[in-house]
Amino acid sequence: MIKTDPPIEMKTAYEMTEWLARYGQTERGGVTRLLYDQKWQEAQQALQKEMEAAGLVSYFDDAGNLYGRLEGAEKTDAVILTGSHIDTVADGGKYDGAYGIVAGILALKSLFKQYGQPKQTIEVVSLCEEEGSRFPLTYWGSGNITGLRKEEHIQELKDSSGTTFTEAMNAAGFGLGHFRKAKRDDLDCFIELHIEQGEVLEREGKAVGVVSHIVGQRRYNVTITGESNHAGTTPMPYRKDAVYTAAALTQTLIEQAKKTDPDLVATVGRMEIKPNIPNVIAREVVFSVDIRHSEEPLLESFSTAIFETFEQICQVHQTGIHIENWMNEKPVPMCQKLSALSTDILEREQIPYKVMTSGAGHDSQVFGQYVPTSLLFVPSHRGISHSPDEYTKSEDLEQGVQLLKKTLYELAY
């Protein structure tokens, strides 16, 4: 059993992320903390104690989100919210999500100590779930707060051991009516501090990333239908080779993406070949297409054009094509006013930063559709994430906390 009390008073973000990583620590030095499991419960309870020790009033909502509140003297019905998610992927890193919570607690603690009560209420939140790593549903934490997710979305869901979502939630002590209702109508804004999970900041020598947009994503399954035949006796001109077509389409997709816009990314990450036998020409290939960009019109025009080209290539190859679009998430702009608060501070203090898009979704993607939202990144060493090797330097973690603290000060005091 892990002791939930910290052995020392933790002053740095590094110390605190190390401490939090003990809840769910894996053999390889990573963290596995899945929604509502034992380690998740212990982590939330430990964080609650930390929030109380930091002088915050703590409470849970009925989805399992944990809050620490620093009450404002004047404006109490428009809450400035900061934080991130406590859950991880299996054998994930110490910083993804956890850092944003730790940073929020440290920033609030330090603000309270230095300046006392703010004018406007600030809360830090440890969101119960973002990753979708236990149940096939993401953003359960931020989704409950904003109303995007409801109980009806979890009725059919089970984890890999057959436990239903509702059973897991109830076993951890949560569920409708157990605590304060999760949906909130009193939020003024949301600020999330997160590791980049990419290597742009490190490569460019920047300490902070200020996110302008979370990119939109479109995902497709493309099915190419050819004709199976003997690999030795079918002359090249007579073939309807699905692999050949799939290869041509993949090359076209990637070359066009490179030509179109530096921020456009397109990926074929999965390919299934039938019958997948060395001496048989493939009759079918199904492959995935993932396209992302921060501007919806560009996503739209690129996707339309690329699939027209796909059809033309298939005609030439005499193969059939079926395109299924199964995900279509629009880009989410972050709040320019909030971003400007942070960039002003960074300019003033001569801290190197980059205004950038986020190629990954975060809780900010959900909040950003609901309240003014700001997403701030600190560097990830070599861009490694969702891995025990995830690492951010202590001084970068600290820099992020200071920026968050100063941004919150500008807003609330």
Q: Give the C-alpha separation, 22 to 410, whole Å.
A: 34
Nearer to Zn ion, 97 or 209 (CB): 97
Q: Which phi and psi angles does 394 have, rounded to 5°? A: -55, -40
Closest CA to 370 of 168, 147, 161, 204: 147
For the CB of residue 95, give the shortest distance to Zn ion in the complex, in Å: 9
Element (H, E) at 317: helix 296-317
Closest CA to 137 of 154, 115, 114: 154
Nearer to Zn ion, 70 or 145 (CB): 145
- Does residue 361 touch Zn ion according to CB under 5 A? no
Q: Give the C-alpha separation, 313 to 7, whole Å.
A: 65
Nearer to Zn ion, 218 or 362 (CB): 362
Q: Which of residues 326-345 bind Zn ion (CB under 5 A)?
A: none
Cβ pair 386, 209 in contact under 8 A: no
For the CB of residue 87, give the shortest distance to Zn ion in the complex, in Å: 9
Nearer to Zn ion, 37 or 96 (CB): 96
DSSP 8-state class, residue 164: B
DSSP β-ladder status, 75-85 and 66-70: unpaired
For the CB of residue 248, give the shortest distance to Zn ion in the complex, in Å: 37
What's the helix, strand, coil split of the chain in %, to 5?
A: 35, 25, 40
For the CB of residue 320, give the shortest distance to Zn ion in the complex, in Å: 40
Q: Give the C-alpha separation, 299 to 336, whole Å.
A: 22
Nearer to Zn ion, 98 or 299 (CB): 98
Stretch that binds Zn ion, among 3-11, 91-99, 151-159, 340-348 (CB under 5 A): 91-99
Nearer to Zn ion, 198 or 226 (CB): 198
Nearer to Zn ion, 31 or 249 (CB): 31
For the CB of residue 193, give the shortest distance to Zn ion in the complex, in Å: 11
For the CB of residue 3, give the shortest distance to Zn ion in the complex, in Å: 26
Nearer to Zn ion, 210 or 268 (CB): 210
Q: Give the C-alpha separation, 23 to 16, whole Å.
A: 12
Nearer to Zn ion, 83 or 97 (CB): 97
Stretch that binds Zn ion, among 95-103, 200-208, 270-278, 286-294 (CB under 5 A): 95-103
Other beta carbons within 10 angstroms of residue 398's beta carbon come to 17
For 64-67, the CB contacts below 8 A with 24+ separation are 64/35, 64/36, 64/128, 64/129, 64/141, 64/169, 64/172, 64/174, 65/125, 65/126, 65/127, 65/128, 65/141, 65/144, 65/145, 65/182, 66/125, 66/126, 66/128, 67/123, 67/124, 67/125, 67/126
Stretch that binds Zn ion, among 66-74, 97-105, 326-334, 366-374 (CB under 5 A): 97-105
Helices (H), 54-162: 98-115, 140-146
Stretch that binds Zn ion, among 8-16, 69-77, 89-97, 298-306 (CB under 5 A): 89-97
For the CB of residue 394, give the shortest distance to Zn ion in the complex, in Å: 20
Count the site residues for Zn ion by CB under 5 A. 2
- Does residue 96 touch Zn ion according to CB under 5 A? yes
- Does residue 97 touch Zn ion according to CB under 5 A? yes
Nearer to Zn ion, 58 or 380 (CB): 380
Both tokens of 127, joined, read 């969101």
Q: Give the C-alpha separation, 388 to 327, whole Å.
A: 29
- Does residue 64 touch Zn ion according to CB under 5 A? no
For the CB of residue 262, give the shortest distance to Zn ion in the complex, in Å: 25
For the CB of residue 92, give the shortest distance to Zn ion in the complex, in Å: 9
Other beta carbons within 10 angstroms of residue 19's beta carbon come to 18
Stretch that binds Zn ion, among 32-40, 94-102, 268-276, 344-352 (CB under 5 A): 94-102
Q: Give the C-alpha separation, 102 to 90, whole Å.
A: 20
- Does residue 104 touch Zn ion according to CB under 5 A? no
For the CB of residue 130, give the shortest distance to Zn ion in the complex, in Å: 6
- Residues lying near Zn ion in the complex (CB under 5 A): 96-97
